[in-house]
Amino acid sequence: MKRILKTVFVMASLAMFAVACGPKGGDKKPDAKKTEAEKKEEVTIDLFVMSQCPYGVQAVEGFMPLLEKFDGQVGININYIGQKKPDGSLSSMHGDKEVQGDISQLCAKEVAPSTKEYWDFMKCVNEKWREIPTHDEECAKKVKLDVAKWKTCKDGEKGKELLSKSFDLATKKQATGSPSIIIGEEKYTGNRSAQAMEQFICGKFGKDKGLKYCDNMEPPAEVKLIALTDKRCGEACNVDNMIKSLNGIFMGLKATTMDWSDAEAQKIAKAAKVDKLPALLFDASVQKDEGGFKHMERWLTKTGDYYLVKVKADFDPNAEICDNKKDDTGNGKVDCEDESCQNTLACRPSTEKSLEVFVMSQCPFGAMAVNAMGEVLDAFGKDMDFKVNFIANMAGDKITSMHGQAEVDEDMRWACAKKLYPNNNDYLKYVWCRAEDYRNPEWKKCATGPIKAAAIEKCVAEEGETLLKENMAIANGLGIGASPTWIVNGTTKFSGVTPKAIQDNFCKANPGLKGCEKPLSNERASKAPAGACGS
């Protein structure tokens, strides 16, 4: 479900929500007379997380009830995702405290007298996951771990050894996103609610492994989905993978695909106030699957009697198609002659030596790309006309962005800096400073030199929304939803985050420039996995 995950999640995967109530039999307690040694794990779940990743924390909490419900027949191994540097040191996406938290949790498992104490420790530290590992010792004492042994492990070589092996396993299993879930030997990408996980485990292993809990499972709730598409739109409106992915979230999904040429499809679109395709619409039955609904709720918009999934939808079935040599609207204007086509890639004029990057200001991959431009601009100087543009959307009359209101606010500050300080690309001094520490809300520390915080504040208050709307219309017209996306000479898209990748693509369209001869770095600004935010 790569496309939908990136668009709304995208959807990485990146997101998991509250755990649903379990089906009948969920309150059954393990047999107190059974020892752990007597219980046989029939199914093993490998869960790969980062200790300070909110989605990883939620996944750990979501899996805790499974231990009781399956009464020892399902086992869960928590592993960690990170990098081993050439000097042997260990690093993780959220910094050194996350590394310490990973080690602390592995050592808790190492010294815990039983699974219960280990999971009690995990529950305790995750209650204040943002503060990991500052309260870990308090939790170790609370759940009655052998604190001395735990400290010896986490402060010594043993803890580093455990984490190193955990990182190696994550690499071997190609687990790069937190959480990544492998059940048996199969990577699981569906809904991470308790209900969905139980349905999957029972459906996959229940009979073969004799899982007793599965005997009382209720069938999944039926959820109806209508997918509206248009054959004229081609692959951009292909919803097959989206539906396949939603099948992994809603175990009882019943999907119907309708083409725009069907009068009933247009009737439904009108009722749901849909004017762009593709459109994925749930009816009220989506709420019957409590876990699936909670998993998707963030990416659903209530519209009429339907719930619209927030996916990338650029095709206007009532507008001119700009490259099919037909007058689609009946106004006598074909393709680029129609004013509605002016912002599309097919009708954009070519502009030599120009480079644009489209980003979300709080996207880590966008930040890498923007920061790479310092080296690139030093190489090309006046031989390159560079601009930063923004990716955002409208929900009614409100601007929205993948990383929330804070990103919208920062986008407006970038847009204002761009307007106020265009000479010699002075605005980039602010942009580069913020991209280095994009999570930090203290933006004014980057308003130095020619950049004035008061001027930016005044601009944001008076015209920030207007500037951002005007700029984001460029990305929307071009069908750009992934941060970063580059366009060279106004017409050619490419992707990349290293100075060398940017140089290569720019020089392919603009050969013979002096900057093309200069050796540039092929290293990313961060060792985080390559990728993009958005679709």
Distance of CA 310 to the CA centre of its chain: 13
Q: Which helix (H) or strand (E) holds 4?
A: helix 2-8
Whether 223-309 and 354-534 share one fold: the answer is: yes
CATH 3.40.30.10 fits 354-534, yes or no: yes
Which residues lie across from 188 on neighbouring strands? Answer: 181
pLDDT exceeds 50 at position 27: no
How is the chain split into domains, by residue range?
40-216, 223-309, 354-534
**Tokens 């109530």 label which residue?**
21
pLDDT score for 526: 52
Report which of 251, 243, 254, 250 is spatially closest to residue 202, judged by C-alpha positions.
Answer: 251
Mean pLDDT score, 325-343? 85
Please answer whether residues 91 and 83 qualify as being in contact, where contact means their C-beta atoms are separated by less than 8 angstroms: yes
CA 147 to CA 139: how far, in whole Å?
A: 10
pLDDT score for 15: 32
For 414-468, what is each residue's pLDDT tens digit? 999 999 999 999 999 999 999 999 989 999 999 999 999 999 999 999 999 999 9
CA 82 to CA 97: how far, in whole Å?
A: 12
CA 163 to CA 78: how far, in whole Å?
A: 11
Please answer whether residues 145 and 115 qualify as being in contact, where contact means their C-beta atoms are separated by less than 8 angstroms: no
Task: Determine what percent of the chain is predicted with pLDDT higher than 70.
Answer: 90
328: helix, strand or coil: coil
CA 214 to CA 66: how far, in whole Å?
A: 12
CATH 3.40.30.10 fits 40-216, yes or no: yes
Query: What ranges make up the beta strands (E) of 176-273?
Result: 180-183, 186-188, 223-229, 253-259
Q: Which residues contact 23 (CB under 8 A, 6 or more apart)?
A: 195, 198, 216, 217, 218
444: helix, strand or coil: helix
144: helix, strand or coil: coil
Q: Which of 439-443, 468-472, 478-482 has the lowest mean pLDDT?
A: 478-482
For 178-187, what is each residue's pLDDT tens digit? 899 999 888 8
CATH number of 223-309: 3.40.30
